[in-house]
Amino acid sequence: MQSVAPFQEIINTEIHRRLALPQFQEPKGLYAPCEYILKNGGKRVRASLVLMAAKMFCHDYHKALPVALAFETFHNFTLIHDDIMDNADVRRGQPTVHVKWNTNTAILSGDAVMIMAYSFFEDAKDFVPSLFSLLNKTALEVCEGQQYDIDLELADLHEKWVSEDVYLTMIKLKTSVLIAACLKAGAIIGGANSHDAELLYQFGINVGIAFQLQDDLLDTYGNYETFGKKIGGDIAVNKKTYLVIKTLELLDSKSKQEFCSLYSSSYSYQDKYEKVLSIFDSLNIKQITQQKVDSYFKQAQECLELLHIDTALKANLYEFMNDLQNRAY
């Protein structure tokens, strides 16, 4: 992801510097897993977005670093706990914390990583209460998103409340609000007016939802080489993706019954994939989802266009959106 590359080194350097501070050393049983998740840190998208947004409105965007780190660190906390809840073994190509250590260690070090996020926030010069409030609000929303995800996971496909609306709320809370908050926080630190800060928030919401819907699409229709995951994985584990929820909405009552049986069946991987795909295809699910993705990206673009700043300053965020949009099939 080219757009975040220029910020990654600044962020990584600062994370490494902080992890070496005396207060984050002992007991090792607590801090080694914290260091493990924070150093094996992925693309640093969230922290980059804080810096990127700040840079649009001021030269001295490094001052946003503590808040950037806070949001990035908060994100890493959610990964540790989500991986326990989702029973996930691998994260960023490495064993997850609860697999490498154990569940108790993952609970406790996850807690510590969340508190570290708040302690990084402490160093924001000229503490802005609205930023603290944004962090808290967003953090709770991310928990709400995870709860909706769990509720959806446990729900029966027949249940009435399993709807497109609930699904969109879930991905908005689970993913988009954090991206949106990073952009808004950066904008506030950079000195943006509240109108522009809000536009960036909405840009983040739209980009986040588009990204997640695209993820659903790529899991079924993508290309292994470019997507990096086995295609059809969601179908194999009966995941309630946007494609499935849209399908349920479009089928008549009898066909819906049949689809539910098929989707929870124990057909072989290839067999089930092909049968589900033929139903998706008969309903134009790929096209419908792609249109939805495009519409969210379009709304995101409109937010960027409305920003009251020089077009050249928007280049970074256009590039970021293109990076996401161009994930190939």
Min dist CB 174 to a copy of itself, Å, is: 12
Task: Please select the residue that binds a copy of itself; options are 10, 88, 95, 119, rule is CB under 8 A.
Answer: 119
Q: Which two tokens stand for residue 70?
A: 């806070």
Q: Which is nearer to a copy of itself, 81 or 272 (CB)?
A: 81
- What is the distance between the alpha carbons of residues 226 and 315, in angstroms, rounded to a whole number? 25
Choose which of 13, 40, 94, 104 interacts with a copy of itself (CB under 8 A). Answer: 104
* Bridge partner residues of 94 (DSSP): 91
Grouping H, G, I as helix, E, B as strand and the rest as coil, residue 94 is strand
| Closest CB 77 distance from a copy of itself, rounded Å | 8
Give the residues across from 91 on adjacent strands. 94
| Minimum gap (Å) between residue 71 Cβ and a copy of itself | 14
49, two tokens? 């977005």
Q: Is 58 left (phi over 0), alpha (psi -120 to 50) or beta?
A: beta
Binding letters toward a copy of itself, positions 79-98, x by CB under 8 A: --x--xx-------------
Question: Is 20 a residue that touches a copy of itself (CB under 8 A)?
Answer: no
Total number of residues that touch a copy of itself (CB under 8 A)? 37
Nearer to a copy of itself by C-beta: 134 or 304? Answer: 134
Q: How far is the CB of 69 from a copy of itself (least distance, A)?
A: 13
Single out the residue of 64, 68, 97, 112 in contact with a copy of itself (rule: CB under 8 A).
112
Site for a copy of itself (CB under 8 A): which residue of 58, 99, 107, 283?
Answer: 107
Site string for a copy of itself, 52-81 (x = CB under 8 A): -----------------------------x
Among 51, 114, 279, 304, the residue binding a copy of itself under the rule CB under 8 A is 114
- Residue of 29, 40, 191, 268 interacting with a copy of itself (CB under 8 A): 29
Among 115, 306, 313, 315, interactor with a copy of itself by CB under 8 A:
115
Closest CA to 205 of 297, 320, 82, 317: 297
Q: What gap in Å lies between CA 54 and CA 62, rounded to an integer?
A: 8
Q: CA-CA distances (angstroms) from residue 178 to 57, 209, 240, 275, 305?
A: 20, 11, 22, 36, 22
* C-alpha 232 chain-centroid distance: 20
Out of 27, 237, 254, 326, which residue is the one contacting a copy of itself (CB under 8 A)?
A: 27
**The one segment of 125-133, 257-265, 293-301, 318-326 that binds a copy of itself by CB under 8 A:** 125-133
Q: Does the protein bind a copy of itself through residue 118 (CB under 8 A)?
A: yes
**CA angle 220–224–226, rounded 5-degree value:** 110
Q: Is 159 in the site for a copy of itself (CB under 8 A)?
A: no
Residues present in the chain in total: 329
Closest CA to 202 of 303, 272, 318: 303
CA distance 310 to 138: 29
Q: Which of 72, 85, 216, 98 is nearest to 148 (CA)?
A: 85
Q: Which of 38, 49, 68, 116 binds a copy of itself (CB under 8 A)?
A: 116
CA 4 from centroid of its chain's CA atoms:
15
Q: Is 132 in the site for a copy of itself (CB under 8 A)?
A: yes
Inter-CA distances, 217 with 149, 214, 233, 272, 292, Å: 18, 5, 11, 17, 11
Q: Give the three-state DSSP class for 90.
A: strand
Decide: is 150 part of the binding site for a copy of itself (CB under 8 A).
yes
Sites of contact with a copy of itself (CB under 8 A): 23, 26-27, 29-30, 81, 84-85, 103-104, 107-108, 110-112, 114-116, 118-119, 122, 127, 129, 132-133, 135-137, 139-140, 143-144, 146-148, 150-151
